[in-house]
Chain A
Amino acid sequence: NAGVTQTPKFRILKIGQSMTLQCTQDMNHNYMYWYRQDPGMGLKLIYYSVGAGITDKGEVPNGYNVSRSTTEDFPLRLELAAPSQTSVYFCASSYSRHNREETQYFGPGTRLLVL
């Protein structure tokens, strides 16, 4: 198993540009998450999904969009990049049943710089 993979590893965007951060997991996990981590800080939840076709907002969803058309993929879309979106983005997945939290597995992250 490759686990959770993210692409790209690093990207520089100009203000106002858009891009999609890709996330794929091969563990057949039903739950997937997107976090951002600013320097020296903890992770903040942007969006999460409990299964294909179902997404919900986390703590900091403004400026982002997600979709979950398959179990494996959970892309994160930035429509109009702003300097405040400069951060490291982590995707994670977990297998949860009976509304019980289980281990989250994180990808290696995407470092995004908006200039």
Chain B
Amino acid sequence: GENVEQHPSTLSVQEGDSAVIKCTYSDSASNYFPWYKQELGKGPQLIIDIRSNVGEKKDQRIAVTLNKTAKHFSLHITETQPEDSAVYFCAPTPGTYKYIFGTGTRLKVLA
């Protein structure tokens, strides 16, 4: 089955700096790569996703890059703000709807 790892597990950055979170997966059949943000006491919310035929996708301050050869994809947040503080999860899937979530990265943006 799919083995998913996220690094780092915690990340503290100063407001305005950039943050990068990496997700490594094992199933070469994975073709859909979403990132979710979970705020305290709430359910996860999709913030950006990418499909296997695309190498990079950007949405304002958030971007995702995909390296299928190396089997990893990364979340990039620029100009971080306090409201970006949350836990971020990746959940690559090979198209079976059996999403495997990473263990999460706790991001703290220090004002």
- Which residues of A are at the interface with B, using a C-beta cutoff of 8 A? 4, 31, 33, 35, 40-45, 48, 50, 58-59, 90, 92, 96, 99, 101, 103-109
Contacts of A99 in B (CB 8 A): 95
Least distance between B4 CB and chain A CB atoms (Å): 8
Q: Known contacts A42-B104, A43-B89, A103-B49: does B43 contact A96 (CB below 8 Å)?
A: no
Q: A4-B43, A101-B97 are in contact. List 10 more A-B contacts (CB 8 A).
A: A31-B97, A42-B89, A42-B104, A43-B89, A45-B99, A90-B43, A90-B44, A92-B43, A105-B46, A109-B42
CB under 8 Å from chain A, chain B span 35-52? 41-46, 49
- Secondary structure call for the B interface: loop
B interface vs A, CB < 8 Å?
A: 1, 4, 32, 34, 41-46, 49, 89, 91, 93, 95, 97-104
Query: Contact: A43 with B44, CB < 8 Å?
Result: yes
The reply to whether B42 and A108 contact each other, CB–CB distance below 8 Å, is yes
Inside 8 A of A96's CB, which chain B residues have their CB?
Answer: 97
Nearest 6 interchain pairs by C-beta = A106-B43, A42-B101, A101-B32, A43-B101, A103-B46, A42-B103
Instruction: Select A108's contact among B1, B43, B46, B97, beta carbons within 8 Å.
Output: B43
Query: Closest CB of chain A to B8's CB: distance in Å?
Result: 14
A50 touches B43 (CB 8 A): no
Which residues of the partner chain A approach B104 to less than 8 Å between Cβ atoms? Answer: 40-42
Can you name 5 A-B residue pairings with CB atoms under 8 Å? A31-B97, A33-B97, A43-B99, A59-B98, A105-B46
Known: A101-B32, A101-B93, A103-B49. Is A41-B103 also a contact (CB below 8 A)? yes
Most chain A beta carbons < 10 A, residue from B1, B99, B100: B99
Complex interface: chain A residues within 8 A of B93 (CB): 101
A42 to B97, CA, bound (A): 16
